[in-house]
A and B are shown apart, each in its own frame.
Chain A
Amino acid sequence: DAKTTQPTSMDCAEGRAANLPCNHSTISGNEYVYWYRQIHSQGPQYIIHGLKNNETNEMASLIITEDRKSSTLILPHATLRDTAVYYCIVRPRGGKLIFGQGTELSVKP
């Protein structure tokens, strides 16, 4: 079973920041937080991952709370092409990716 809780769906205006929350209150000390997304009719795509520090790459930023029980994925300037299902996954080193239902993000013009 997935160890994360995400809202089923969210809307975001094009050009604005999209903030996608994820709760993982039972996360263990050796587990990482991963984010993938799946654009319609495509395979999932890796976005970012982190352990306890905030992370940023060319796609997004990941903010993890100090107690590590929740995190937020930030897409700083959402575009229509960011419309997708976003999966938050908790995974230990060497462990499997277990996908939940994710958040369906709709970016609207």
Chain B
Amino acid sequence: DAGVIQSPRHEVTEMGQEVTLRCKPISGHNSLFWYRQTMMRGLELLIYFNNNVPIDDSGMPEDRFSAKMPNASFSTLKIQPSEPRDSAVYFCASSLYELGTGDSYEQYFGPGTRLTVT
């Protein structure tokens, strides 16, 4: 298995531009998570999906951030317009969610996208 795939690995953009980060979860996994990591705030959960449905987006910082999961094998995190304070490493993770137990197994993280907004 290739693991969780994220693209691009690095993104440099100017303030005000739209940024789209992409994630392909592990095949067969039905939960997907977006995290952001900065030195100041550490690793924060932004949003997560179960079976392509957003369950909790309370970590999304503001309306400039949006996430979609159109199918089981693809998700995007979009920032529009981007600001310098959005500079961070963004991680996508996936896991297997069991409806019967209402719980997920361990999360598998991708390599991250390092975003720099100038």
Contact = CB atoms under 8 A, between A and B. Distances in A.
Contact of A42 (B43, B56, B106, B111): B111
A93 B107 contact: no
From B4, B42, B44, B91, residue with most partner A Cβ within 10 Å: B42
A50 interface: no
A44 B109 contact: yes
B103 A94 contact: yes
Contacts, number: 41
Interface string A32-75: 00100010001111100100000000000000000000000000
Interface in B70-118: 91, 93, 101-104, 106-112
Contact of B45 (A45, A46, A93, A97): A97
B106 A49 contact: yes
A43 B104 contact: no
Interface residues on B, range: 20 to 34
B108 A99 contact: no
Nearest to B95: A46
Given A96-B48, A99-B43, A100-B42, A45 B103 contact: no
Interface of A: 34, 38, 42-46, 49, 87, 93-94, 96-101
In the complex, the 4 A-B pairs of residues with the closest C-beta atoms, listed nearest first = A43-B109, A46-B106, A99-B43, A94-B102
